[in-house]
Copies of this chain bind each other. A is one copy, B any other.
Amino acid sequence: MRTIDDFTRPLEYLAPVDKHLGDIVRAWAEREVMPYRRQYDEDWEAHRLIEPAFRSLMGELGFQRMLFPEDVGGWGFGHSGYTATIACRAFEEIARADSGMAVAFGVLFWPLVMICNEPHVNRRLCEELAPMFCDTTAPCFAANAMTEPQGGADIENMEIVGGSTIETTAVLDGDEWVINGHKLWPTNSGGVADLFGVVCTTKAGSRDLDDFAFIFVPAKNPGCTQSGPYQKAGMAADKNGDIWFEDCRVPSWYRAHGPGLDAMYFKEVISFGNMGSTAFVVGALMNVYEILKDFCTEQTYRGKPLKENDDIAGVLADFARDIDICRILAYQCARMIDRPDLYGERWSDEIVAKGRGYKYFACDRAVEDLKKAMNIMGAHGSDRLWDVEKHWRDVKIVQLWMGGKQLCQMEVARWFYECETL
């Protein structure tokens, strides 16, 4: 009897703790998420059902501590050599249950990547921020405040705009940054986040990457306000909203690293986002594989189980094949992040561009495959009872976030073809 564990992973890459952590997350997901997820759509605003599941995973099981150094209360994965590979497994398992939840969980680490990962650990900030995450059993969320109202993900398009479109400013006033600006759409906004990593500029309109700043802002700081969540087509566990910074002050050393370095290491954030997105998609697809297998074994057409009809088997085959392929890519992507000694720095243009490629490939395949899965299921493709339509709606947003497909294409083209004006 084949299961999701039969999909290929490069076994050479797996972390020693892979099985242990994977089992824990899977048990949690099957116990605390899957029985309830069908009601998540109505829970998009209140998170009455969603919050307890986060509490259990992040706070009680303690997964929100993963990235911090051991000596500040974390699990020390930031220097494990397996950071991304472990994350990849965890993301898969969570997304199998609910990819909105996987995104919210993944993004919690996004700002922390800037300061917790070797070789650029910011000890002082780790010590300062670790207690929020490590000294509690309550879930603690973080978010990257990047996108701005006009131009959207242009922020991420650093090669071409060089940070010049960032309108959120940080001005040094004594030993404090004073931040002003308006951000929108980040995962874990809409009132959820306790901590923001804010992409801003120390000099409005500048194309000099020295002026690009990544500054941590606790959400409870005066001058930092959040709107309620937007209503969306799905992914209820991921809240998104507006964030306003009005003369919001933080200590000067809340800037991640400083001129030049912030922009450089920020690309590592993108690399993790690429790997994570690929893993989210794989997790969702693996769950649909389980469902499809049941459905197509149980329902009949032409007097035979659906899966014994060659035409339907053909679609099922493409579905399984694509999971197998995307899973290999997710782990290859993770490995390339984990082993800079072999593959180059994880913030390099190469790793970012290739990761963008895997990400948009996996998302495109997933959206196509889920559409076909729904078509196979006929009248049941769109009812919530089977959860396939849910994964379809959720995966679509993984495809759209982080600048969407076109930005990925431009980065890939720039790197592989040395384009200069895109």
Chain A residues at the B interface, C-beta cutoff of 8 Å: 1-2, 6, 8, 10-13, 289, 293, 296-297, 304, 307-308, 310, 313-314, 316-318, 320-322, 324-325, 328-329, 332, 335-336, 342-343, 350, 354, 357-358, 360-361, 406, 408-422
Contacts and interface: CB of A to CB of B under 8 A. Distances in A.
A419 B357 contact: no
Contacts of A336: 8
Contact of A321 (B316, B350, B360, B414): B360
A409 B318 contact: yes
A421 B305 CA distance: 10
A417 B357 contact: no
A417 B293 contact: yes
Main SS of the interface on chain A? helix
Nearest to A319: B416
Contact of A314 (B1, B413, B421): B413
7 contacts: A8-B336, A10-B10, A296-B417, A314-B409, A321-B357, A328-B328, A328-B329
B412 A317 contact: yes
Nearest to A310: B422
Contacts of A417: 2, 293, 296-297, 307, 313, 316, 320
A317 B410 contact: yes
A242 to B, nearest CB: 29
Contacts of A313: 409-410, 413-414, 417, 419, 422
A318 B358 CA distance: 11
B361 A6 contact: no
A342 B415 contact: no
A320 B350 CA distance: 13
Contacts of A314: 406, 409-410, 413
A342 B9 CA distance: 11
A19 B176 CA distance: 54
A296 B416 CA distance: 12
A342 B14 CA distance: 12
A255 to B, nearest CB: 33
Given A2-B415, A304-B421, A8 B354 contact: yes
A320 B414 CA distance: 11
Nearest to A297: B417
Given A293-B417, A317-B410, A317-B416, 15 more contacts: A6-B350, A10-B332, A12-B13, A293-B416, A304-B421, A307-B417, A308-B420, A313-B422, A314-B406, A317-B357, A317-B409, A317-B411, A321-B360, A325-B361, A328-B329
Given A12-B342, A317-B408, A354-B324, A419 B308 contact: yes
A8 B351 CA distance: 10
A360 B321 CA distance: 9
Contacts of A2: 415-418
Contacts of A361: 321-322, 325
Contacts of A412: 317, 320-321
